[in-house]
Structure 1
Amino acid sequence: MEDFRAIADAVAHDIATGRLTAGDRLPPQREFARRRGIAGSTAARVYAELVRRGLTVGEVGRGTYVRATPPTVEPALAEPRTFAELGTARVDLELNFPVVPGQAELLARSMQKLLRGGLLEDALRPVGAAGTPAARQAAAVALARTGWAPDPRQLLFAGNGRQAIAGTIAALVPAGERLGVEAFTYPVVKGVAARLGVTLVPLAMDDDGVVPAALAQAPVRAVYLQPTLHNPLGVTMSQRRREDIAKVLEDKEIYAIEDSIYGFLRKDSTPIAALAPQWTVVVDSLSKRLAPGLTVGFCIPPATLVDRIGTALRSGGWTAAHFALAATTHWMADGTLATVEESKRTEAKRRQEIVATTLADFTVRADPRAYHCWWELPEPWRADTFVAAAARRGIAVSPGAIFAVGVGQAPHAVRLALAAPPVADLAAALESLAALARDTPDGGVE
């Protein structure tokens, strides 16, 4: 029996050599299985592997398309003058890791302190989930927000934010149990839940976030929430909604996993942890604040859960590396982190202004302080078709379906991540997408 990875390798080779190009639609899985003489389950694994490798994008029941990739040859004659036709690399509006000018130099200067004396030798030794006293103190100050400051004694450290989420879910929700999530949620949570054997329960949302009544009625052990600059919708819960959610947590004895990854962009919002401290675990990381390549994740549980979550982080191999912890401790303690954060807040506003101007004629949900926005596409566009058409123009965007939880019609929307391209490329890409959206799918996709 042919291994699904070998079949995925063959498709990847077709993409690399140009036999399949950006925006091409793969056959339905059943037809692919018939052509290859393989089982339908094997075809499904092949398609999932291609998505995992970042080679394709698609929506169940709608189609699978080759992602946008940098062109390897000068394109042949085609109708629109796209990024790909101009010979430039793709414009990435999928990943969201903000970097501001001068950031690397600023981090490097601070790093010099770590490389002197015996500090580096100490940083190369192992460290546990509780980190070091210096790291706990620095993180407690850095993560504080309006109305809330974490207790350093309750801080735990993971390798990154995803590991912090995974360790907390593993600690709070046994295999076979249910975790509540917003109807649109961070896709990584979907993958983590699947690997841990946890069932996700989608909770209804309105313009203020999760509906409290939906949470109160849900048969869940815990709930994962993004109350500040929700990904992908950009919603920030009002203070009243946070209070209502906190009351449900206390009344129903439900633990909340509060993801504050974008909290540094809106430090004026009070975490739910300040309102229901015994029922909330805050998770965060430095991947957005600083950079994903050298980051640390944080878990701040109530005192009653510190041991349980610490055990989960250790058993899962999710604790932070000591060198990364030492480096980020320096950046938090000497003001480097605060400087970079302020620059990123300014840059986010600048990029949102471009969105507001370029996409003014469309239905876009966006917070002026966020690095992403949610674009509800005009009729007759569907997300999968739009993603494929954008790919042909060398622009990668995320279809709304990857954020949706549960069975239902995929949203005719895309999320645009604004952090990756230079400002000029971002503006040009948005202009190209706006022109595409004003066209029809027949005109946008060959």
Structure 2
Amino acid sequence: MIVSDTRWQPEISGAGRAKYKALAQAIREGIVSGQLTAGEQLPPVRELAYRIGVTPGTVARAYAVLTDEGRLTAGVGRGTFVTERKATTQSIWDTPAMLDPTADLPDRVHLLSPKMPEAGQGALIRDALQALSTDMVPEHLLNYPSRVTDIAARRAFKASIADTPIGPFDEDDVITSHGGQSAIVMILQTVLHGPSPVIAVDELSYGGFRSAAVMSRAQVVGVPWDDDGPDPAVLEDLIKTQGVQVFCTSAEVCNPTVRTTSTPRRKQIAALAQRYGIHIIDDDCYRLMRTKHLGPSYRALAPELGWYVTSPSKSLSAALRIGFAVAPVDWSSNLARTSTFHSFGVTRLVTDLYAYIMARDELPDVIDRINARIAQDVRAAVSILDGHTVTWSEQVPFLWLELPIGWRAGEFKQRAESAGVLIKSAEDFALRDGRSNHAVRIAINGQVSHDHFAAGIQTLRDMLDNPPDAISV
């Protein structure tokens, strides 16, 4: 046991693992193995810290993590206890696969995908679940979702983007989805036609566009960028020669390059769309919530053909699986029908959860803390990588690093992984026949400690400064 009258002590010497995570894992294992029993009191923070040779802050942080997970219960003035569980209930969290939600982090720095730090949103979601479990009437828990059951979420979403320049719309123009990716798939399934449809994407772009095209039996062609954004001459040629029906892009934040399409270029692209009748899906999932837009959405510029898509996954929590599509004029009923055919819509358990969270007074402070942590990591990375070509924004949870002569993207990615840092190369975002770009994307993973993140970036810096002799220049 961890208590003072036992010889059992937690083992926290795992190489590369933050001490508080190692301690939290040791307590988890003690609970699951039965060495720590329900209702048992753990030692005071300072006592355990002294016994195992760590700081009180390390113990306090481990206790806090396990309290958030529901494994421990803290009573003011009473101490910290193993949470009581019903004898007949086995939690899914007690299965070996769920022992440690961050089990893949100790000896490697995972910078593959943006992940939000815990800044209070976990408590908001937990409180919302508890409130809804009490407030929902039986009928809410028995029926299929509909355009009636998700109205609260659509209204909450509309209020949340009141200052976003996407053109006039009301809640009837908003369609809920199972995340931003689901919205993109449904839009393509709504607008594509013919036996061999073609969509265009940015030459370096989010892989979800290509996945959505596969699900929609569409071919994909790429549009290169210049300093202002997608090349309109190339796009026009693809429309004429390839029969492009939809252009999928991200005007505010191109993933992975962190570049923004200028307002004049957006107007050129919108004019092309209107001239040829092609749809534009504007994916706005990568700009952090409550940060400023740099230009108008394609929906504002081409109201009959522009689609606006976003979700809270990259700004609040990836576990909150809901997305929103704002349809062009006269297209909302078509997309709503696709949604019904697709999955009958998003369950009220999720739409009401979203609406409840968005109405909480604490949410703005939570978002500010999330954004501040992301900005802190971005600034640290830019400082460490000083002297190399990095495209970045404090409002975006990833960076684009162009590699110096001597490095190729695939080799750099592999060497980084061998050194314990996981990143994505330009090849992960390119079409099969696309141009080779010697660059990598570094995602901000807020679930990695800031010091661990900075150490990973320093590893990349050391690699950049020491290119392998085997690579020809």
Name the TM-score, length of structure 1 as normaliser: 0.75
1:323: Cα distance to partner? 0.7
Task: Report what 2:180 is aligned to.
Answer: 161
CA distance 1:311–1:244, shift in 2 (3 Å): same
3-state secondary structure, aligned to 1:364: strand
1:198 corresponds in structure 2 to: 218
Q: Percent identity?
A: 25
Structure 1 equivalent of residue 307 of structure 2: 281
Relative to structure 1, is the Cα distance of residues 332 and 119 closer, same or farther in structure 2, using a 3 angstrom cutoff?
A: farther
Q: Which residue in the other structure is 2:326 paired with?
A: 300
Cα distance between partner residues in 2 of 1:369 and 1:183: 23
Q: Map 1:225-264; keep pairs closer than 5 Å.
A: 225-263=249-287, 264=289
Contact 1:204 1:211 in 2 (8 A): yes
Q: Is the 8 A contact 2:203 2:434 kept in 1?
A: no
Match of 1:309 among 335, 341, 348: 335
Name the residue aligned to 1:426.
453
For 2:341 and 2:106, locate their aligned partners in 1 and report how far apart those are by CA, in whole Å.
45
Letter in 1 for 2:179: N
1:17-74 CA distance string (max 9 Å, x none): xxxxxxxxxxxxxxxxxxxxxxxxxxxxxxxxxxxxxxxxxxxxxxxxxxxxxxxxxx
Q: Which residue does the alignment assign to 1:97? A: 115
- C-alpha distance after superposition, 1:380-431 (max 9, x if no partner): 1111111111111111100111101251442111110013422111101000
Aligned pairs for 1:318-333 within 5 A:
319-333=345-359
Q: Which residue of 2 aligns with 1:439?
A: 466
What secondary structure, in the 3-state scheme, does the structure 1 residue paired with 2:293 have?
coil
| Equivalent residue letter for 2:316 | L
Residue identity matched to 1:425: H
1:188 partnered with 2:208: yes
Structure 1: runs of 5+ lacking an equivalent: 1-86
For residues 117 and 183 of structure 1, the distance between their equivalents in structure 2, rounded to whole angstroms, comes to: 48
**Aligned CA distance change for structure 1 residues 438 and 120 (closer, same or farther; 3 Å):** farther
Is 2:287 the partner of 1:267? no
Once residues 345 and 134 of structure 1 are traced to their aligned partners in structure 2, the CA distance between those partners, rounded to angstroms, is: 26
> Scaled by the length of structure 2, what TM-score is found?
0.71
Q: Give the one of 122, 135, 138 matched to 1:117.
A: 135
* Native 8 Å contact 2:150 2:348 kept in 1: no
Deviation (angstroms), 1:159: 1.1
- For residue 292 of structure 2, give the secondary structure of its aligned residue in structure 1: coil
Q: Which residue of 2 aligns with 1:54?
A: none
SS in 1 for 2:134: coil
1:243 is aligned with what amino acid? K
Partner of 1:39: none
Match of 1:126 in 2: 144
Alpha-carbon displacement from aligned partner over 1:182-208 (angstroms, at most 9, x marks no partner): 111111211221232101111121122
> Residues 146 and 344 of structure 2 are in contact (CA less than 8 Å); yes or no, is this contact kept in structure 1?
no
Shift of 1:121: 5.7
Counterpart contact for 2:185–2:215, Cα < 8 Å: no
Distance in 2 between the 1:379 and 1:440 partners? 8
What one-letter code is carried by the residue in structure 2 that aligns with 1:166?
Answer: V
**Structure 1 Cα separation of the partners of residues 364 and 395 of structure 2:** 16
**How large is the Cα RMSD of the aligned pairs?**
2.4
Structure 1 residue aligned with 2:47: none
Report the 3-state secondary structure (helix = DSSP H, G, I; strand = E; otherwise coil) of the residue aligned with 1:292. coil
1:225 maps to a residue whose letter is T
Structure-2 residue corresponding to 1:28 = none
Task: Give unpaired runs (5+ residues) of structure 2.
Answer: 1-104
Give the partner amino acid of 2:156. A
1:170 and 2:189 aligned: yes
**In structure 2, the residue corresponding to 1:157 is in which secondary structure?**
strand
CA contact (8 A) 1:165 1:283 kept: yes
Q: Deviations over 1:62-115 (max 9, x none)?
A: xxxxxxxxxxxxxxxxxxxxxxxxx93321110112124322123323443312
CA distance in 2, matches of 1:271, 1:337: 25
Alpha-carbon distance in structure 2 between the residues aligned to 1:112 and 1:414: 42
Cα distance change on mapping 1:195 and 1:153 into 2, 3 Å: closer
Judged with a 3 Å threshold, the aligned counterparts in structure 2 of structure 1 residues 287 and 251 are, in CA distance, closer, same or farther, namely same
| Counterpart residue number, 1:19 | none
Q: CA deviation at 1:297?
A: 1.1
Structure 1 distance, partners of 2:430, 2:338, is: 27
Q: Return the alpha-carbon distance in structure 2 between the equivalents of residues 283 and 295 of structure 1.
A: 14
CA distance, structure 1, for counterparts of residue 125 and residue 352 of structure 2 = 13
Q: Which residue of 2 aligns with 1:404?
A: 430
The structural deviation recorded for 1:176 is 1.2
Go from structure 1 to structure 2 and tell me whether the alpha carbon gap of 1:162 and 1:180 turns closer, same or farther (over 3 Å shift): same
Q: Distance in 2 between matches of 1:201 and 1:118?
A: 47
Question: Which residue of 216, 221, 227 corresponds with 2:236?
Answer: 216
Residue 14 of structure 1 corresponds to: none
- What SS is found at the alignment partner of 1:140? helix
Deviation at 1:144, TM superposition (A): 3.1
Q: Displacement of 1:434 after TM fit?
A: 0.5
Give 3-state SS (helix, strand or coil) of 1:113's partner.
helix
CA spacing shift, 1:173–1:340, aligned 2, 3 Å: farther
Deviations, residues 281-310 of structure 1 (Å, cap 9, x unaligned): 111112112212222011110242112222
Q: Counterpart of 1:50?
A: none
**Partner Cα separation in structure 2 for residue 406 and residue 428 of structure 1:** 33
Asked if 1 retains the 8 angstrom alpha-carbon contact of 2:150 and 2:176, the reply is no
Decide whether aligned partners of structure 1 residues 202 and 335 sit closer, same or farther in structure 2, where only a CA change above 3 A counts.
Answer: farther
Distance in 2 (CA, whole Å) between partners of 1:209 and 1:354 is 27
1:358–1:129 CA distance, 2 compared to 1 (3 A): farther
Contact 1:375 1:414 in 2 (8 A): yes
Q: Using a 3 Å threshold, how does the CA distance of structure 1 residues 318 and 163 change in structure 2: closer, same or farther?
A: farther
CA distance in 2, matches of 1:272, 1:192: 20
Mean CA deviation greater in 267-276 or 128-137: 128-137
CA distance in 2: counterparts of 1:337 and 1:233, whole angstroms? 29
Cα separation, 1, equivalents of 2:301 and 2:107: 46
1:53 is matched with none
Report the Cα offset of residue 318 of structure 1: 7.4
